């Protein structure tokens, strides 16, 4: 029973989050063959100001 955690910046619409979850389930199913009914996805939203990507803090160039 795969559990997948996805940490994202806050702000996606419910529609975009729903599509993200569907895409993660699809890719996981295709990659490891798990039944989509047992694939669990957890989204964790964080304020962009609390994130550093590639060593840069949100808003820095």
Expressed in angstroms, the distance from the first to the final Cα of the chain is 41
Q: What is the pTM assigned to this prediction?
A: 0.84
Residue 40 has pLDDT above 90, yes or no: yes
Mean pLDDT (the chain) is: 93
In a domain, 58, yes or no: no
Q: Domain range spanning residue 41? A: 1-45
Residue 46 has pLDDT above 90, yes or no: yes
Domain tally, the chain: 1
Tell me what percent of the residues of the chain surpass a pLDDT of 70: 100
In a domain, 50, yes or no: no
Q: What is the CATH number of the domain that holds 27?
A: 3.30.429.10
Please, which pLDDT band fits residue 60 given cuts at 50, 70 and 90? confident
41-56: average pLDDT: 90
Structure tokens at 51: 């994130």
């Amino acid at each position: 029973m795969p559990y997948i955690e996805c940490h994202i910046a806050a702000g996606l619409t419910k529609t975009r989050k729903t599509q993200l979850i569907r895409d993660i389930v699809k890719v996981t199913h295709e990659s490891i063959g798990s039944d989509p009914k047992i694939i669990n996805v957890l989204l964790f939203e964080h304020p962009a100001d609390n994130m550093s990507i590639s060593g840069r803090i949100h808003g820095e160039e």
